[in-house]
Homo-oligomer: A and B are copies of this chain.
Amino acid sequence: MQSFTEENYLKIIYHLSQNNDEAVQTNAIAERMQTKAASVSDMIKKLAEKQLINYKKYQGVKLTITGKLAAINIIRKHRLWEVFLVEKLNFKWDEVHDIAEDLEHIRSADLIERLDEFLSFPKSDPHGDPIPDKEGNFDSIPFRKLNKLKIGDEGLIMGVSEHSPPFLRHLEKLGLTLGRKVRITEIIDFDGSVELTVDQKKIIVSREVAKHILIRH
């Protein structure tokens, strides 16, 4: 089994290789881990020795199958705990990330399976991110980013790709919460801001905000 730190590296490498599909760079990991490239180099060697990543000097890293499964398992735990915190303990969606960051490292497979059952096998977390099953399979639902829609398009808010508390509180304030139906009424040429209706109300979000809102038809 891995240490908390190793688990965090695996999780971050997994997230970084999601967008990209190429090998993940040392510096990218360092930035996300809030540490220095030198420390990342050291840890990379360790993970490579444990066969959790493939690594050739100066070439960046890729998760092995084992490493990927380990990463997905941590993400599964993180997201299940987030559901617990919101659904059972009444936390807000912007308050749960840091606590789940700690809870995700609790090592008991039995605990997680029972928690999953207690929560009635949720398919997604409070931010709309899919929860993998215990074999590591995700339900992948296709989505489009709000900034890619055209005037007149409509759909449901199914997730967000940014989890910072200020961003989430901003959405909350605007009534842009999961499951809400939105329709694009205008796109401002000048800066790409998007005007839309939610719940009978007209609101405007910047392009930057729109980029992080995921929409399904």
> B-contacting residues of A (Cβ < 8 Å)?
85, 88-91, 95, 98-99, 102-103, 106-108, 110-111, 114-115, 118
Complex interface: chain B residues within 8 A of A106 (CB): 99, 102-103, 106
Complex interface: chain B residues within 8 A of A114 (CB): 89-91
Complex interface: chain B residues within 8 A of A118 (CB): 88-89
Copies of this protein, total: 2
Complex interface: chain B residues within 8 A of A110 (CB): 95
Complex interface: chain B residues within 8 A of A89 (CB): 111, 114-115, 118
Q: How far is the CA of A25 from the CA of B90 in the complex (A)?
A: 44
A99 vs chain B, min Cβ distance (A) = 5
A200 vs chain B, min Cβ distance (A) = 34
Contact of A102 among B91, B98, B107, B115 (CB under 8 A): B107
Q: How far is the CA of A101 from the CA of B214 in the complex (A)?
A: 39
Name the residue in A89, A91, A118 with the highest tally of chain B Cβ atoms < 10 Å from its Cβ. A89
Complex interface: chain B residues within 8 A of A98 (CB): 108
Q: How far is the CA of A54 from the CA of B90 in the complex (A)?
A: 41
Please provide the 3 A-B residue pairs with the shortest distance between their CB atoms, ordered closest to farther.
A89-B114, A99-B108, A102-B106
A114 vs chain B, min Cβ distance (A) = 4
Q: How far is the CA of A85 from the CA of B114 in the complex (A)?
A: 9
Q: How far is the CA of A111 from the CA of B98 in the complex (A)?
A: 11
19 residue pairs bridging A and B, Cβ less than 8 Å apart: A85-B111, A88-B118, A89-B111, A89-B114, A89-B115, A89-B118, A90-B114, A91-B114, A95-B110, A98-B108, A99-B106, A99-B108, A99-B111, A102-B106, A102-B107, A102-B108, A103-B103, A103-B106, A106-B106
